[in-house]
Amino acid sequence: MKIAVIGCGALGSYYGALLSRVGHEVWFQLRADHDVVARDGVHISSVRDGDLHARPKCLRVPESAGPVDLVLIGLKTTANAEFARLVPGWVGLQTAVLTLQNGLGNEEALARIVAPEQVLGGLCLVSLNRTAPGRIRHIDRGTILLGEHLGGPTDRTRSLATAFEAAGIPCEVCPDLRQARWRKLVWNIPFNGLGVAGSSGLDSVSRGQWSPGHPLDPALSAKDVLETPAWRTLARELMGETIAIATALGHPIDPAYADAELERTVTMGAYRPSTVIDFEMGRPMELDAIFYEPQRQARRTGTPTPRLDTLCAVLRGLEAAGVRPPSQ
């Protein structure tokens, strides 16, 4: 396949490198990292798989190498306004456009740029960090849950899943992409959210109120949330509210899924989710897609979400103040 990767941070670089390594013609569309990756390729340091190296083809933003078979979107959702500038040059009549982004609304945003039937969504169950240009640290897992934006799985969905599996990427075809997105939010909302908001202190998060000038603590890792009883309780309550929203929308999730996710998180250790890293670096955070849109969906369905509401209030305050937590 000829594949374009748009958004070559940790996520796009990891999956793009694995696909390149097995012989696909993979093009990375790069901005600041272009010269380093063009010269040295992508280096993956994996706890599970050892060190990997791949040499994708490289172009600068917003250049393209013409229509491809597959576009992989690894951008942060804060850059979705760039879709119209970055995506069309890669898309032909038969191109599949797959967003690997977090949260809600990404497929809909792409479907305003390309034909809706060309759009797919993928949920990445993986722990990754970008440590330097072209350098990715793989911590845990790597599965992609793959689904069509319109309707259920097709031959195309299954063919793409087979190609990912052949590249060493575990891939599951999901019959309901929207339910799968909510299942991922069951983890993302508490661990990304409390990781950031936890810097304001337990009292602020419990009350849903943080005032500029109030000193911040370091942001919380997944391990910090799990090992502090009060934070773990809040995480479990947020998971329950997320499941309730999904169920009200017609995408039911077994409540036991929350406890299974808590146990799975133990293997991640002191992992710092992407929103936490963005907060620590003073970069824009993916708050709308991961937190505010789920909150809007809760209000539309009349689902009570007191914990999500207080979390969003603190996140809005931190975002508006433009603050950064102290380093660990």
Q: Name which residue leads in pLDDT, 210 or 259.
A: 259
Strands 96-99 and 135-148: unpaired
Tell me the per-residue pLDDT of 76-121, one tens digit each, with 9 for 90 and over: 999 999 999 999 999 999 999 999 999 999 999 999 999 999 999 9
Q: Give a yes or no: residue 327 inside a domain.
A: no
Encoded tokens for 28: 């990375």
Q: Do 154 and 188 fall within a single domain?
A: no
Of the three residues 118, 146, 175, the one that is the final residue of a domain is 175
Q: Do 116 and 203 fall within a single domain?
A: no
Cβ proximity of 223 and 289 under 8 Å: no
Cβ proximity of 278 and 286 under 8 Å: yes
Q: Do 22 and 166 fall within a single domain?
A: yes
> What local confidence, expressed as pLDDT, does residue 19 receive?
97
Query: Over pLDDT 90: what percentage of the chain?
Result: 91
Strands 171-173 and 135-148: parallel
Q: What is the mean pLDDT of the chain?
A: 95
C-alpha separations of 205 from 235, 248, 277 in Å: 12, 25, 19
**Amino acid identity, position 77:** T
Q: Name which residue leads in pLDDT, 147 or 129.
A: 147
CATH code at position 248: 1.10.1040.10
Q: Give a yes or no: residue 328 inside a domain.
A: no
Query: What total number of domains does the chain contain?
Result: 2
Q: Do 263 and 205 fall within a single domain?
A: yes
Q: Give a yes or no: residue 85 inside a domain.
A: yes
Q: Do 254 and 316 fall within a single domain?
A: yes
pLDDT band at 328 (very low <50, low <70, confident <90, very high): low
Residue 62: asked if its preceding bond is cis (omega within 30°), the reply is yes
Q: Do 261 and 293 fall within a single domain?
A: yes
Q: Give a yes or no: residue 81 inside a domain.
A: yes
Q: How far apart are CA 298 and CA 304, in angstroms?
A: 7
Of the three residues 130, 155, 175, the one that is the final residue of a domain is 175
Q: How far apart are CA 303 and CA 301, in angstroms?
A: 5
How many other C-beta atoms can be found within 10 angstroms of the C-beta atom of residue 230? 11
Q: Do 55 and 120 fall within a single domain?
A: yes
Structural domain span for residue 14: 2-175
> What local confidence, expressed as pLDDT, does residue 188 receive?
96
Q: Where are the alpha helices (DSSP H) in the chain?
A: 10-21, 34-40, 83-86, 106-110, 155-166, 177-197, 202-207, 222-227, 229-248, 256-265, 274-281, 287, 293-301, 306-321
Q: How far apart are CA 155 and CA 310, in angstroms?
A: 43
Of the three residues 154, 175, 196, the one that is the final residue of a domain is 175
Q: 225: helix, coil or strand?
A: helix
Q: Do 63 and 136 fall within a single domain?
A: yes
Q: Do 42 and 125 fall within a single domain?
A: yes
Q: Which residue in this structure is represented by tokens 């890792």?
A: 221
pLDDT band at 213 (very low <50, low <70, confident <90, very high): confident
Q: 128: helix, coil or strand?
A: strand
Indicate which residues carry an active-site annotation. Answer: 184
> What local confidence, expressed as pLDDT, does residue 48 receive?
74
Tell me the per-residue pLDDT of 286-316, one tens digit each, with 9 for 90 and over: 999 999 999 999 999 999 999 999 999 999 9
Q: Do 163 and 193 fall within a single domain?
A: no
Backbone angles phi, psi at 4, to 5 degrees: -110, 135
Q: Do 84 and 206 fall within a single domain?
A: no
> What local confidence, expressed as pLDDT, does residue 49 receive?
77
Q: Give a yes or no: residue 228 inside a domain.
A: yes
Rg, C-alpha atoms of the chain = 19
Cβ proximity of 113 and 87 under 8 Å: yes
148 strand-pairing partners:
120
Given a cut of 80, whether residue 233 has pLDDT beyond it is yes
CATH code at position 10: 3.40.50.720
Q: Do 68 and 217 fall within a single domain?
A: no
Cβ proximity of 297 and 105 under 8 Å: no
Model pTM above 0.85: yes
Q: Give a yes or no: residue 31 inside a domain.
A: yes
C-alpha separations of 319 from 77, 144, 272, 291, 294 in Å: 15, 30, 18, 13, 18
Q: Is 5 left (phi over 0), alpha (psi -120 to 50) or beta?
A: beta
Tell me the per-residue pLDDT of 142-194, one tens digit each, with 9 for 90 and over: 899 999 999 999 999 999 999 999 999 999 999 999 999 999 999 999 999 99
Cβ proximity of 231 and 224 under 8 Å: yes
Tell me the per-residue pLDDT of 17-75, one tens digit each, with 9 for 90 and over: 999 999 999 999 999 999 999 999 999 998 777 899 999 999 999 999 999 999 999 99
Q: Give a yes or no: residue 326 inside a domain.
A: no
